[in-house]
């Protein structure tokens, strides 16, 4: 438990906005070094780690994808001694005023998001939120210093420190989706000590929040027979409709819908029941909104599964998650992989009805 927490805190404290995953990728590589047989960085920045199976060569491969990129801001221009910004990934401008941030200029600069007074904004209204284009970031430098140290295109990360809220609960930014990277790491550790027939490609994907470029390209490159995406889903809490949210600490969700191969879903469900890992069914009527959407559509098509970890306040700097659910996701992944027989693909067929059993 303490190691899981420490790894998670370390990962969410590293910058790694979409398209600029280098710093967090470095940390993930350190965590995976001893538990993989090969590590490589893809051409768009995803980290790909191979754990060889014991089956005879050529072995089938499973791709386990967790995106490591985070949302944040980017400098788009200057406004006197302040910066104008735009978002990287989906950021609600209403959560920004007053946030502490770090501007990654020629050096890291602490700063905060300023909400200019209504009378200085076209159509400004004291009661209305200030649109992204009018928000500013103030790093306390004068205009001249600012232009020396910060240029257009520099990144801005949230500076919220990780918060431990009891034994099993953590809050902070970028938990979407570093929690899944931790779950995948736990799975790799587990699998390291066990015999598994299949090759495992663990991929910390890049740019999920923007274009899914990482998942698309790694799936093409690695040509896995199966793929699983692990991501976060809505945790039950303020603002999340109850029928679309899942309680924190009470288990993972197993995706169900067009993105998910029904036989894979059934297999995950069976294993969860056997291991007494609590789970909920998550209906995904159209698409999953995760890397799975891209994985499934790679080349001739890949049977794909989605496992999710409930998380409160998604895409805010105070996302909240239960460590228990992270560990459950890791264990479930490992167990699924360990049980895959070499001839699994021969048994994976489409039945007339894909109804849930």
Partner 1 sequence: MKSLIKKFAQIPGPSGYENQIRAAVRAEVEPCANEVIVDALGNLIVRWGEKGPDGLRMMLSAHLDEIGVIATHVDKKGFVRFAGLGGVHPAYCVGGHVRFLNGTRGVISFEKESGLKKMPSLDKLFIDVGATSPGDCPVGVGDVAVFARKYQELGEKIVTKALDDRIGVVVLVEALRQLHEENLDSPHELYFVFSTQEEVGLRGAGTSAYHINPDLGLSVDVTSTGDTPKGSKMEVRLGEGPAIKVRDGGMLSDPRVVDWMVSTAEEHEIPCQLEILKGGTTDARAIQVTRAGVPVGCLSVPCRYVHSPSEMVDYGDVEDSVRLLVALLSDQVPQLEGEE
Partner 2 sequence: MLEIGQEQLELLERLTNACAVSGDEGAVRKIVLDEVEEYVDELQVDALGNVLALCRGEGDGERLKVMVAAHMDEVGFMLTADEKKGLYRFARVGGLDPRQLVGKALWVGAERIPGVIGAKPIHFTKKKERQNAISLESLRIDVGPENGSKIKVGDRATFATQFTRLGKSIRAKALDDRFGVATLIELVKHAPQNIDLLTAFTVQEEVGLRGAWVAAYALDPDLGFALDSTPARDFLPWNDEEENVTYNTRLGAGPAIYTTDARTISDPRLIKHLITTAEELDLPYQLRQPGGGGTDAGAIHRQRAGVPSVTVSVPARYLHSAASLARMADWEATLALVHAALGRLGAGIMQFAD
Residues contributing to the site for partner 2 (CB under 8 A): 243-244, 256-259, 261, 281, 283, 285-287, 296-303, 349-356
DSSP code of residue 98: T
CA angle 132, 134, 136 (to 5 degrees): 90
Q: In angstroms, give the least distance from the CB of 227 to partner 2.
A: 10
**Cβ closer to partner 1: 154 or 335?**
154
**Cβ closer to partner 2: 219 or 320?**
219
205 binds, among partner 2, partner 1, none (CB under 5 to 8 A by kind): none
Nearest to 188 by CA among 28, 25, 14, 298: 28
354 binds, among partner 2, partner 1, none (CB under 5 to 8 A by kind): partner 2
Q: In angstroms, give the least distance from the CB of 151 to partner 1.
A: 6
Q: In angstroms, give the least distance from the CB of 353 to partner 2.
A: 4
The C-alpha torsion from 90 through 188 and 335 to 9, rounded to 10°, is -50
152 binds, among partner 1, partner 2, none (CB under 5 to 8 A by kind): partner 1
Q: In angstroms, give the least distance from the CB of 283 to partner 1.
A: 28
3-class secondary-structure state, position 69: coil
Q: Which spans of this chain sit near partner 1 (rule: CB under 8 A)?
A: 18-20, 40-44, 74, 76-79, 84, 86, 88, 133, 151-153, 207, 210-214, 216-218, 220-221
Q: In angstroms, give the least distance from the CB of 261 to partner 2.
A: 7
Answer yes or no: are the C-beta atoms of 176 and 232 closer than 8 Å.
yes
User: How many angstroms separate the CA atoms of 67 and 77, rounded?
Assistant: 29
- Rounded to the nearest angstrom, the gap between the alpha carbon of residue 36 and the centroid of all alpha carbons in its chain is 20
**Cβ closer to partner 1: 99 or 218?**
218
221 binds, among partner 2, partner 1, none (CB under 5 to 8 A by kind): partner 1
207 binds, among partner 1, partner 2, none (CB under 5 to 8 A by kind): partner 1
43 binds, among partner 1, partner 2, none (CB under 5 to 8 A by kind): partner 1
**Cβ closer to partner 1: 152 or 275?**
152
Q: In angstroms, give the least distance from the CB of 308 to partner 2.
A: 15
Helices 2-13 and 22-33: crossing angle in degrees, nearest 10, is 150
Nearest to 336 by CA among 54, 13, 62: 62
Q: In angstroms, give the least distance from the CB of 319 to partner 1.
A: 22
E strands, the chain, are 38-41, 47-51, 61-67, 72-79, 82-88, 100-104, 108-114, 136-138, 155-158, 163-164, 169-172, 199-205, 226-234, 252-256, 279-283, 304-311, 319-322
């Amino acid at each position: 438990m303490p190691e899981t927490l420490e790894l998670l805190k370390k990962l969410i404290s590293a910058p790694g906005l979409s398209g600029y995953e280098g710093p967090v990728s470095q940390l993930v590589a350190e965590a995976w070094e001893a538990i993989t047989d090969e590590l490589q960085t893809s051409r768009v920045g995803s980290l790909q780690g191979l754990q060889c199976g014991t089956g005879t060569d050529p072995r089938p491969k499973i791709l386990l994808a967790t995106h490591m990129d985070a949302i944040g801001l980017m400098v788009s221009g200057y406004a006197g001694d302040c910066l104008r910004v735009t978002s990287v990934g989906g950021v609600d401008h209403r959560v920004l005023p007053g946030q502490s941030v770090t501007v990654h200029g020629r050096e890291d600069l602490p700063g905060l998001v300023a909400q200019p007074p209504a009378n200085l904004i076209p159509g400004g209204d004291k009661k209305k939120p200030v649109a992204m284009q009018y928000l500013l970031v103030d790093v306390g430098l004068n205009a001249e210093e600012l232009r020396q140290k910060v240029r257009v295109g520099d990144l801005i990360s949230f500076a919220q420190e990780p918060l431990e809220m009891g034994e099993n609960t953590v809050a902070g930014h970028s938990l979407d989706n570093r929690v899944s990277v931790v779950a995948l790491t736990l799975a790799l550790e587990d699998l390291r000590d066990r015999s598994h027939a299949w090759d495992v490609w663990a991929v910390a994907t890049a740019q999920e929040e923007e274009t899914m470029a990482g998942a698309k390209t790694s799936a093409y490159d690695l040509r896995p027979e199966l793929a699983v995406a692990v991501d976060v889903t809505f945790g039950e809490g303020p603002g999340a409709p109850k029928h679309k949210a899942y309680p924190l600490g009470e288990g993972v969700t197993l995706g169900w819908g067009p993105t998910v191969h029904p036989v894979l879903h059934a297999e995950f469900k069976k294993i969860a029941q056997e291991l007494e890992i609590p789970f909920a069914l998550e209906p995904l009527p159209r698409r999953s909104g995760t890397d799975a959407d891209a994985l499934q559509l790679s080349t001739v098509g890949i049977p794909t599964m989605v496992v999710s970890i409930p998380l409160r306040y998604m895409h805010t700097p105070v996302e909240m998650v239960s460590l228990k659910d992270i560990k459950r996701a890791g264990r479930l992944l490992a167990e699924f992989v360990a049980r895959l027989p070499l001839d699994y693909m021969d048994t994976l067929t489409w039945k007339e009805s894909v109804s849930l059993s």
